[in-house]
Every structure is written in C-alpha cells, then in structure tokens.
Amino acid sequence: MQEELTKEEYIEETKQESHISLSQEKILRALESDDVRGHFEGSLDNQLVLNMGPQHPATHGVLQLVVSLDGESVVGTIPVLGYLHRGYEKLAENMTSHEFIPHTDRLDYLSPLANNVGYVLAIEKLLKIEATPRAQWIRTMCCEMARLASHCVWVGTMAMDVGALTVFLWTFTEREKILDILDILTGVRFTTSYTRIGGLALDMSDEVTARLKVFLDQFIPKLEDARALIERNKIFINRCEGVGYISKEDAISLGLTGPNLRATGIANDLRIDDPYLKYREVDFDVPTLTESDVLARYYVRIREMYESVKILRQCMEKIPQGPINSPDAKQVLPDKGEVYSKMEELIHDFMIVNFGNTPEKGAEAYQAIEASKGELGFYAISDGKGYPFRLKIRSPSTVAIGALPTMMKGAMISDIVAIIGSIDPVMGEADK
C-alpha cells in the first residue's frame, strides 16, 4: 500500500509533475488549508477540486473559480482575476484627463455614462470647478438611464442563468430602447464618452426628452410582464431562495456596497448618504431586504428600477435652461465654433488638448458615485502636471467577487451560477 503523502509533499510532487506556476501553487495551498477542507470519516473522504472558467458561459466575463467540493457541496472557492487586465490605473498616469474619459466607458461597459460621470466628478473636484446646473441635471439623468440599462441586462442574464430564456429577450428589448435614446443624446449608443470636464459634449434636445417620456410610460408595464413570467415560476424561486447567503456583518467586513449590501438590510446609498449632482433635489426610496440571498438581491434591483423611473420623471420636470459647460476657460474645453473664430479660445483648446488640465501640485481628490453595481470611486493625486500622478479606481465588481467565497460556502455546485449572477459582476471593471 502506497504511503500517504503529507500536504506539503503532495503540493511539491504536484508542482514538479505539472510545472504549475507560483500563482497556481498559492491557489492549491489555499484550497488545501484546514479552513476550507471538507472531511468525511474513513474511506468516504472524496474531495474534488473543480476549475470553473476562465471561459465559461455563466461567469459573466473572463473569470476563473477554483472550487473545492465534497460531493456536490462547495467547501471552498477561490476567484482568480487577471485574465482581462488592461492596466487602466497605470494608463491614466500617461494621459491627460480628457484622453482618459473614453477608457472609463470600458470599465463597467453596461453603464458607461455613469463611469464617465464618476471620473469627471473626481477630476472636477481636483480642479475645484463645478458643472452648470443644467449639466448636473443631465448628468443625473444619464446616471439613472445607465442604471436602468444595466439592470435590464442583469435581470435578463440572471433569469437566463437559471434557465429562463424568454425574460432575457424581453429585458434586452427595453435596453435597446434606452440605447436608442442615448444615441440621440450622445451621438453613440454604447461607449458614449459623453461627459466632459466642466460640462457635457452635447446639450439635451427636446427630442430626447420626448422619447424618454414615451419610454418611461411604457417601461413599467413591460417590467411587470417580465416579473410575472419569472416570479410566478416555482423553479426560478427555488433556484434563488435561501441560496448565496451572506450576513450583514460579513457584507460590511468585505466592503460590499450597492444592491448586494442593501439586500442584507443596510440602507446604504451614496445618492442619499453623500449626495452629488442633483440627488438632493429629487425624492426617491432606497429599497432594502433582509434575507441576504440571491432572491433578495433580485428584488432589490427590481425595486431600484421603479425608483430610477421616479427620479427620471422628476428630473425632466425640474431641469432648467442654460449653458452646459462651466465658464472656466482655462480648465474647460471651449465651444468648437468659438475655437474656429477666436484666437483666445483656440489657444485654450490647444493647451488643454495637448497639455491637459493642471491642478495644484499635491492636490488630491476622491469621488464616489452610486453606480448600478455599488460604490464606484476614483481617487486622483496631482503633481501639478496635465495628467494624474496616480489614479486609483474603487470597483464594486472587484469587491463583489471577493465576497463569492463567503456566499458559496455550503452551497451546491448547481447554485454557483445563480450566485455569480446575483452579484452582477462585470470583469472589465473588476480587472480594470
């Protein structure tokens, strides 16, 4: 009978045989730790290590999960990131603030407008400038349209993850209507790069307002139809209820924000707790539940869509007329018509485009917004040059993925897909 190997001997032998990398060795050691191992008495010990991803139809991006199983029960999970890493934080150090705006579209690519707004607000705080009232109202509307578009995708993909294909087709249709409105507003449907430092690229036309009103009038009935299709489905409820539990204490400890935190009963929302733009001037509720499972995270996002509709209606009523760009000529790109006709505006445009905005040396700023997935924050430090000395991005998707081991412990292998879907990760944002 072959002598049983110790944990250290097993790892070393495995390493020599397969020539695994250092990162893989760390994963293996973590899975073999006493904290995540499952134990059966005697000969029934049958622990299995399963690699889920990085290419898998239900991982919502290029995500690898190394899962330790006892039979069909999950006893340990290690998320592995890095397959989509673009080095955005480092790229920002070599770009002017305006040049980096298109890259924010590619973070959470399901809500690019909100990413634009969050980054620009951080740079504006660094420069000590503020957008005009009309621009702030339009930005507020952009954030809520981005939330609706993102949640529409999430509802559809979440339902599809547990076998309900029709809902995905219905909610994606509603998202397409939002993108059509954004096409008129920004000139593009998807990666908008619409927000500018000190203002916006284009003003909101009457056509946008009219089409948005029509969309909001028909959206709630369409959402009700989608809800009726899945919430009356016993299979969907059974796949979600009681699955992926996380306590409010663990959620706080792990840094969860957004719908994932509010599903534990904590009414944390930056739109109310640390208001920005025009959220102080609109009335809305913060949906919370206490069940802390997949189903609770579903209901929180559904209810948020009703609140976004409420906010958008108020914005359309309250938005004032006026300019959309700050008058600070040295920090804000001038109107293109004036650039072609006035020498001073031409000089300002040339300096900003080629050398960037110039905050005070040593200035630093952090700005967070309540994005569709939670707190999206940008921290910028300046050394007085036209591009950030350092830029750090606080990604809600990264934090949510970090909570997966806690949510999955004790779950069945068939629950993994539902749990991943419930946290709504986007790997472009998680890996940044």
pLDDT band at 100 (very low <50, low <70, confident <90, very high): very high
* Spatial distance between the Cα atoms of 361 and 106, rounded to a whole number of angstroms: 29
Domain presence at residue 368: yes
Confidence check: pLDDT of 167 > 60: yes
In a domain? residue 51: no
> Which tops the pLDDT comparison, 123 or 432?
123
Number of folded domains in the chain?
1
CA dihedral (233, 238, 242, 243) positive or negative: negative
14 belongs to a structural domain: no
Tell me what pLDDT residue 16 has: 55
Please indicate whether residue 41 or residue 163 has the higher confidence score (pLDDT): 163
Q: Is 77 part of a structural domain of the chain?
A: no
* Contact in structure between 127 and 361 (CB atoms under 8 Å): no
Model pLDDT for residues 368-394, shown as the tens digit of each residue: 999 999 999 999 999 888 888 999 999
Angle between helical axes of 294-318 and 133-161 (0-180°, round to 10): 150
Q: What mean pLDDT comes out for the span 192-199?
A: 90
Report if residue 424 sits inside a domain. Answer: yes
Q: Is residue 18 part of a domain?
A: no
What pLDDT was estimated at residue 278?
Answer: 95
Contact in structure between 92 and 100 (CB atoms under 8 Å): yes
Task: Tell me which residue has tokens 């008129």.
Answer: 184
Checking 343-348 for CB contacts under 8 A at 24+ apart, the result is none
pLDDT for residue 288: 94
Domain range holding 308?
88-431
Q: What is the pLDDT of residues 9-42, one digit of tens each?
A: 655 655 555 555 656 666 666 655 554 444 434 3
409 CB burial (10 A radius; 0-12, 13-18, 19+) = middle
The answer to whether 98 and 388 have CB atoms below 8 angstroms apart is no
When computed from its CA atoms, the radius of gyration of the chain, rounded to whole angstroms, is 24
Residue 247 predicted with pLDDT over 80: yes
pLDDT of residue 27: 62
Q: What is the DSSP string of 40-82?
A: -SGGG--EEEEEE-SS-TTSSSS-EEEEEEETTEEEEEEEE--
Q: Is 348 exposed, middle or buried (0-12, 13-18, 19+ CB in 10 A)?
A: buried
User: What pLDDT sits at residue 358?
Assistant: 85
Q: Which residue has the higher pLDDT, 37 or 338?
A: 338
Q: CA–CA separation, 68 vs 14, rounded Å?
A: 17
Q: Report if residue 141 sits inside a domain.
A: yes
Tokens of 97: 């603030």
Task: Indicate if the pLDDT at residue 181 is higher than 70.
Answer: yes
* pLDDT of 3 above 60: no
pLDDT digits (tens, 9 = 90+) for 340-371: 888 888 888 888 888 888 888 889 999 999 99
What is the mean predicted confidence (pLDDT) over 241-259?
A: 94
Mean pLDDT over 80-87 rounds to 86
Question: Does pLDDT of 246 surpass 90?
Answer: yes
Q: Residue 332 pLDDT > 80, yes or no?
A: yes
| CA–CA gap between residue 351 and residue 210 (Å, rounded) | 38
220 token code pair:
């709630």
In this prediction, residue 41 carries a pLDDT of: 41
Query: Chain-wide mean pLDDT for the chain?
Result: 87
Residue range 50-68, pLDDT digits in tens: 888 787 666 667 888 888 8
| Residue 310: inside a domain | yes
CATH number of the domain bearing residue 233: 1.10.645.10
Cα–Cα dist 61/173, whole Å: 22
- On whether the CB atoms of residues 185 and 204 are closer than 8 A, the answer is yes
The candidate with the shortest Cα–Cα distance to 104, out of 47, 133, 53, 142, is 142
